[in-house]
Chains A and B, each alone.
Chain A
């Protein structure tokens, strides 16, 4: 069934997304980055880096971040970004309440 497929696929998918985002951020930070770490508090999310992250997410996951989604609160943690990517790819409804 479709639902089963989605449920099977979804955790894998968001793990992959989280993994790619984390690898990108860790290369920038030259330090480990936890999924729920507030990147603004840890100093990584500067005004310049914020837009670099947007461009990275767009080119890596084939999404366009525009309008009301262009808000810093969508980029504060890896978890926030995974949720945004899921929503903009149209599989947001399967992302549970993450």
Chain B
């Protein structure tokens, strides 16, 4: 019997991680509270899996794993590992981690994909803190081969071994870092994006100009504001708030321009517009 991965949260990251796992032959149970989200997620996972195939990012000769969608967290029982990818709100993560931790067998690796909430803070929600670890998958997870692995102070050695086995299976390479708000990648990337948004808000440059300068002068692959639209501006603002509170650094507070866009429902690619307009074929 092929072991199954459970993914909690069928948003941008949950669907991308699901596509990654399916493409590497792992069956996935994808859980969300919202049935409408799950319905859309099926199409989104299919598109992302085909995107991976288009770019040669899936292994040859491996049959895609089977996708099951459900609103019941109880269906995570019996899985190889659980990836938590729900909204970046500490209370929501606490609630679902508490629930899932009571359902799975001891030794089942619990993975949080949080952008910036310390793993040891989340460990307070689970029955066995040694089973919990952070794997910060990048977006799109099925294209980016490197992940940031966050070892909390209480994460067990056995968990780290299971993480390595899982990443091998998924064809990903992890860099293991210590626990801290925002770890390495969000701590660096998020304030940079925030500043890029602030520059646009101040009228110093347009989004296109900011991205063109960062790409053309500094070698950034797409520019910070295209990246922001890919991440989702609501998630970006939530992550910045989570980091600013935990770092005690107001520089991490989302700037007005970012909050204005979120308030106007311009969430990036997933809503069809953010710093840029998209044509409805992107989500």
Contact = CB atoms under 8 A, between A and B. Distances in A.
Interface extent on A, as a size class? 10 to 19
B202 interface: no
Interface extent on B, as a size class? 10 to 19
Interface string B50-69: 11011110000000000000
B166 to A, nearest CB: 24
B281 interface: yes
A55 B283 CA distance: 10
A72 B47 contact: no
A70 interface: yes
The interface residues of chain A, by DSSP majority, are classed as: helix
A52 B279 CA distance: 9
A52 B281 contact: yes
Interface in B262-283: 279, 281-282
Contacts of B47: 51, 55
B143 interface: yes
B277 to A, nearest CB: 10
Given A47-B143, A66-B50, A59 B55 contact: no
B279 A54 contact: no
A84 interface: no
B54 A52 contact: no
Contacts of B281: 52, 55-56, 59
Contacts of B50: 51, 54, 65-66, 70
Given A51-B50, A66-B50, A72 B55 contact: yes
Interface string B222-252: 1000000010000000000000000000000
Contacts of B54: 50-51, 54, 70-72
A66 B49 CA distance: 10
Contacts of A66: 50
Interface in B53-97: 53-56
A59 B280 CA distance: 11
Interface of A: 46-48, 50-52, 54-56, 59, 65-66, 70-72
